[in-house]
């Protein structure tokens, strides 16, 4: 025989043992999920075989046409076995799929968890722990498999105690497919029970589209029909929730779902869920999970980016199309009209679901916003066609809302003052900076609400949006102070007078701040602070964006001074002060600080300030 009988030992990649341990311990309170994970892998393997057979009919083997997933147990040996006649794996595939524990990013993430988080099953569960869930209940796992199409003597046996090493052996295996034997840990005997196994399958795997049998009984334990193909009237919230958890590995119920069967030019079914918590990889460039595409109920691929737009990348679920070919590839998806159509309808239905939630269950929507608002916002500039709908879903902190509560643009508009014709906002690196910003002083005094935007993406949102219901969005920190229709004539006059009265001082300050301030001017924006920095109105949105990075300053910073402030009045009276340059820099730097930005030379600022303090003290003594 040409069989290589010898067994080879391999090591998992570093930390694998730790990760396994962590998973097993964290998930122990939900240990039954081990079966759900294995059964779901078997079901996928059967689907993949079916797809591959379309292009490679030679893969058909005698008498194997009935797909099946068999669960059995042996009380004496203390084992549970899960077997399928799916596609199986070659030696390389076993090494790649089963020998690699942590998908990219997973191990870093797991290591970063703190003690409490490590016990948080919901967090750990997000990974779709998959095959390794076997080690929650097993001390040793033996997997035997043969890839469809490979000769009988190219079977593979993989065995491991999950402690860092596994062995591989080439074996003979008559049937293609995969068999997994779990040698249970001490104390897990209660699982060696037909009734128990049936109820676990019923609970977690009822909707698996393939028949699952337990023990000697040949009849399927599960419904063996895909959940989304069943009529809505038959299904309860609980069914959907259970299905969602199986699909995603999440341990918490979703916030909402859409289930729609559409017939017409294209026939398809959508079952889409909005999770209640952000997955750990929401902000990674290529989030792992997405929406699963099925063609005539056969699982084809999971995709994040093509089936739904990126700003809905938190959505999980199923799209099942009757119009695509079974051998559809990612490339074909790109140009498919059926997919374009389905995608457009999915977006519409999801935005409608969110709107209904926002209108009908505001508390729930607030939870949604906390988890996914920053992602949904991207839709404002990514999906102009739905900009209006998305604008209605946006929520902001404002000078009226307080820190935790949030307002919608509609709330804002309904609270506008008589004569107010603009929606005001302030972009700041953080909410504390925003709330303390001098730019708000006059708006506070006039009781005009200002939206406080502290999210990096917000500057794209306001420029993308530009207006809402005909009301222009206006920054309170850009351009000359603009109170829309709200400035009274007396104020305008006072400002003009101040300009003349301060012309000399402005000229001197400008000279001293050459290279730092783009311009210096008098403002009516301030009531209590002596000065503030604003962005030049001619700056484009991208310079506004850039100002949130780097030093945090606009590219063309303008120093505005408050003519009503005693310090400014004093400078105006004593323009011959030899320390005017110091005053100019100190005014400028403190305005930079209150804008939430960094000052270029903190050392120079402090020594100038100290010099001024000393000079004032000296003045006191001599006077
Ligand atoms: P996931 O299913 O999320 O990809 P798993 O750890 O459960 O992660 O499985 C890793 C891979 O191993 C699967 O993607 C699949 O390629 C392969 N695999 C697991 N179980 C089987 C099986 N019963 N038959 C064929 N391949 C399998």
Looking at the structure, tell me whether residues 191 and 261 fall in a common domain. no
**Cα distance between residue 361 and residue 52, in whole Å:** 45
Residue to mutate, 69, 93, 131, ligand 1, most ligand atoms under 8 Å from C-beta: 131
Lowest mean pLDDT among 137-146, 211-220, 497-506: 497-506
End-to-end alpha-carbon separation of the chain, Å? 110
Domain with residue 281: its CATH number is 3.30.230.80
Looking at the structure, tell me whether residues 208 and 259 fall in a common domain. no
pLDDT, tens digit (0-9, with 9 covering 90-100), for 122-151: 555 555 568 888 999 999 999 999 999 999
pLDDT of res. 296? 83
Atom of ligand 1 nearest to the CA of 41: 20
Average pLDDT over residues 405-428: 92
Lowest mean pLDDT among 284-288, 311-315, 373-377: 284-288
User: pTM value?
Assistant: 0.75
Q: Which helix (H) or strand (E) holds 25?
A: helix 16-26
Q: How confident is the model at residue 548 (pLDDT cuts 50, 70, 90)?
A: low
- Residue that is last in its domain, among 333, 366, 399: 366
Q: How confident is the model at residue 485 (pLDDT cuts 50, 70, 90)?
A: low
Q: Considering the chain, what percentage of its residues have pLDDT values greater than 90?
A: 53
Looking at the structure, tell me whether residues 198 and 289 fall in a common domain. no
Average pLDDT over residues 462-471: 92
pLDDT of res. 313? 93
Instruction: Give CA angle at 552 (546, 557), nearest 5°.
Output: 85
Atom of ligand 1 nearest to the CA of 82: 23
8 A C-beta contact, residue 595 and residue 429: no
Query: Token digits for 94?
Result: 């076993």
Domain with residue 558: its CATH number is 1.20.120.790
Looking at the structure, tell me whether residues 350 and 294 fall in a common domain. yes
Domain with residue 134: its CATH number is 3.30.565.10
- Residue that is last in its domain, among 223, 240, 262: 223
Average pLDDT over residues 389-409: 92
CA–centroid distance, residue 129 to ligand 1 (Å): 10
Looking at the structure, tell me whether residues 216 and 276 fall in a common domain. no
Structural domain that includes position 579: 489-617
pLDDT of res. 1? 45
- Residue that is last in its domain, among 205, 223, 241: 223
Q: How confident is the model at residue 622 (pLDDT cuts 50, 70, 90)?
A: very low
Select the more confidently predicted residue: 101 or 179: 179
Count how many Cα atoms sit within 13 Å of the Cα of residue 62 in the half-sphere of its side chain: 1
**Cα distance between residue 291 and residue 237, in whole Å:** 20
pLDDT, tens digit (0-9, with 9 covering 90-100), for 418-440: 889 999 999 887 888 788 888 89
Helix (H, G, I), strand (E, B) or coil at 181: strand
CA–centroid distance, residue 146 to ligand 1 (Å): 14
Looking at the structure, tell me whether residues 503 and 533 fall in a common domain. yes
Residue to mutate, 16, 36, 41, ligand 1, most ligand atoms under 8 Å from C-beta: 41
Ligand 1 contact, 288 CB (< 6 A):
no
């Amino acid at each position: 025989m040409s069989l290589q009988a010898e067994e080879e030992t391999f090591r998992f990649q570093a930390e694998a043992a730790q990760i396994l341990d962590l998973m097993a311990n964290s998930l122990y309170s939900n240990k039954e999920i081990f079966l759900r994970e294995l059964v779901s892998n078997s079901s996928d393997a059967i689907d993949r075989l079916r797809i591959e057979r379309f292009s490679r009919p030679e893969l058909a083997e005698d008498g194997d046409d009935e797909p099946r997933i068999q669960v059995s147990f042996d009380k004496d040996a203390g084992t549970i076995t899960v077997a399928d006649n799916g596609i199986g794996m070659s030696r390389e595939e076993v090494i790649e799929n089963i020998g690699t524990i942590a998908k990219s990013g997973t191990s870093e993430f797991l290591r970063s968890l703190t003690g409490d988080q490590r016990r948080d099953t919901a967090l750990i569960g997000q990974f779709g722990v998959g095959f390794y869930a076997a080690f929650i209940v097993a001390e040793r796992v033996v997997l035997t498999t043969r890839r469809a199409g490979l000769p009988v003597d190219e079977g593979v046996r993989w065995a491991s105690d999950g402690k860092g090493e596994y062995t591989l052996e080439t074996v003979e295996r008559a049937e293609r497919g995969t068999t997994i034997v779990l040698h249970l840990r001490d104390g897990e005997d209660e699982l060696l029970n037909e009734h128990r196994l049936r109820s676990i399958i019923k609970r977690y795997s009822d909707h698996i589209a393939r028949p699952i049998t337990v023990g000697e009984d040949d009849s399927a334990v599960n419904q063996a029909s895909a959940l989304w193909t069943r009529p809505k009237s038959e299904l309860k919230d609980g069914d959907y929730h259970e299905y969602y958890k199986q699909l995603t590995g999440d341990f918490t119920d979703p916030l909402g779902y859409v289930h729609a069967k559409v017939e017409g030019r294209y026939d398809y079914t959508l079952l889409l869920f909005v999770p209640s918590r952000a997955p750990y990889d929401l902000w990674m460039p290529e989030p792992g999970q997405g929406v699963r595409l099925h063609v005539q109920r056969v699982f084809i691929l999971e995709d994040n980016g093509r089936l739904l737009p990126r700003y809905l990348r938190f959505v999980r679920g199923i799209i099942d199309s009757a119009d695509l070919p079974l051998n559809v590839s990612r490339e074909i998806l790109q140009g498919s009209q059926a997919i374009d159509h389905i995608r457009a309808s999915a977006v519409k239905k999801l935005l409608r679901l969110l709107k209904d939630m926002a209108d009908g269950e505001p508390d729930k929507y607030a939870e949604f916003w906390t988890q996914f608002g920053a992602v949904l916002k991207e839709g404002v500039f990514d999906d102009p066609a739905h900009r209006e709908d998305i604008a209605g879903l946006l929520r902001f902190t404002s000078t009226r809302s307080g820190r935790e509560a949030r307002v919608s643009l509609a709330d804002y508009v309904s609270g506008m003052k008589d004569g107010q014709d603009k929606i005001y906002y302030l972009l700041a690196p953080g909410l504390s900076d925003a709330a303390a910003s001098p730019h708000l002083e006059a708006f506070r005094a006039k009781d005009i609400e200002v939206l406080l935007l502290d999210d990096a993406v917000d500057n794209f949102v306001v420029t993308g949006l530009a207006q809402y219901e005909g009301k222009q969005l206006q920054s309170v920190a850009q351009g000359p102070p603009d109170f829309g229709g709200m400035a009274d004539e007396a104020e305008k006059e006072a400002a003009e007078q101040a300009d003349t009265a301060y012309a000399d001082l402005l000229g001197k300050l400008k000279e001293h701040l050459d290279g730092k301030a783009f311009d210096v001017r008098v403002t009516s924006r301030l009531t209590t602070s002596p000065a503030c920095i604003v962005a030049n109105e001619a700056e484009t949105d991208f310079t506004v964006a850039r100002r949130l990075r780097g030093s945090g300053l606009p590219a063309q910073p303008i120093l505005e001074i408050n003519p009503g402030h005693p310090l400014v009045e004093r400078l105006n009276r004593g323009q011959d002060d030899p320390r005017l340059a110091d005053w100019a820099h100190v005014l400028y730097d403190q305005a930079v600080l209150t804008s939430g930005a960094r000052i270029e030379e903190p050392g120079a600022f402090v020594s100038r300030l100290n010099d001024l303090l000393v000079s004032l003290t000296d003045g006191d003594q001599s006077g």
